[in-house]
Structure 1
Amino acid sequence: MGGSKSIKSALINKKNDLIQIKSERPLFFLWKLIIGLMVLIFSIIVGYQLFTNTEFINELIQESGSMGPFVYLCILSLAIVMLFPTPILKIFTGTFFGFSLGLLINFLASMIGGIIAFFIGRFFFRDTIKRMISENKLAIELEKSLEQEGFKLSFLVRLSPLIPDEWLNYVLSISPISTKTFVLSNSSSIVYSLIYAYYGAILGRVVFSQKGLLEVNYTTIDWILMILGIIATLISVIIITNISKKSFEKTRFESE
């Protein structure tokens, strides 16, 4: 309990320091707001152009040649920053680039996009995000619990579907966790990066197939392994979610 009081005291002192800085350096915070809005507007414009037409993405990657993986990495990173649901895009990496390269692109995009979103939230939109989640009970409880078990909870929540991964970057940006803790917990995204790349390599090309499954020939063994893989994935997600919930409830109870 003593540790909890010291953390709360440190947070209060930090908040008071920020209030003092804001009063002494109003232009600094004005420029932060302007830069943040410019990043947001640019991301919205580019994101809208990219994600309203998936055929454009396909053509862009094909025309990029050897730069295709880098182009797709940028697109996926931007999608994460823009809070676009990215599972289908991460599946497409397996479709376009195969399992190994797809896994690498998914993981790097999760790290790069996550870190950018974290910094945008922490340094430009902290107050806005706090207001946005003020009525979300789960997000508020998570923020409080992170004061006690920052790394453990952020790691487990990242692996569970309690909060969408893209939104979690911004929720964590206003929490007490350090940048180092965020980066370490974000590395757990390799688990879902692997899953998406795997299913993308097997099933993803069906999405771009004009005749769907009719053009995809799999043996009986392939289908059995695929179904078993899906079942194993669902079981793993359920187990991880239960562990996360129990850890979350335990930390919340101790903090009270």
Structure 2
Amino acid sequence: YPDLRDILKQRTDNISCLPVDKGGLVLDADVLGKSDAVFITPSHRCPTTHTMPAGRRRALLDLARQHDFIIIEDDYEFEMNFLEPATPALKSQDHDGRVIYVGSLSKSVFPGLRLGYLVAPEQLIEQARALRHLILRHPPGHAQRTLAYFIALGHYDAQIRRLRRHLGGRRQVLQAALDQHQLFSHTASHFGGTSFWMKGPDWLDSRALADRAAEMGVLIELGEVFFQPGAAQHNYFWLAYSSIGESQIAEGIGRLAVAVETLRP
């Protein structure tokens, strides 16, 4: 995440951006072995949406034990697996406290609910609470209690089932529209998710496309912010469908295709 990179810069300049492939983080023992902590989004990697396979997860855990580093596992969108069962989290295979598991409920419940959770050793949680106290006294207690009842009464599970059903339908419509207009190459998680990672031809400037598309009522997210500083590629962008109704998707992709044509050299 770009914001994570900015946060880490407040504490250190020793930040390494590692290469990724269709299996997520590429495991380079030489680089990982010199690290204190490794941050990953293995379920749906941001922004490429790829899922790290179980074998690579085990290999990463082995490297963490061998080289004594911590893994911060942000299990982003793991609830949004509607095509295949979710791959077990690294934390579920962590037997010596090397994985700090974090997540939030903004995707699965609603974005305005700014509540997250942390699964980690007790001592670390105590320190995290102390640090959070300096920034935010505490999240509203009524929101925490309401969410606890929501989960305990089974409403959360029902919400996830509804989400998966609706997202599955939207994904099918979006995929069909992209195929119809032959709109660039793209990747989407084989497990589900809420977005497609799009790659345009070399001549495309996604900044110009974002401006043109916005004039036509279509919003895209620039991909350049997700690259290592100084290595941004301007022909990538992120296309999400979680908040768009099925009836609007095909028309939106049609408008996007028109916007692309107006920029073609």
TM norm structure 1: 0.28
Report the structure, 1 or 2, having the larger helix content: 1
The structure that is strand-richer by fraction is 2
Q: TM-score, normalised by structure 2?
A: 0.28
Q: Whose RCO is larger (CA < 8 A, sep 6+)?
A: 1
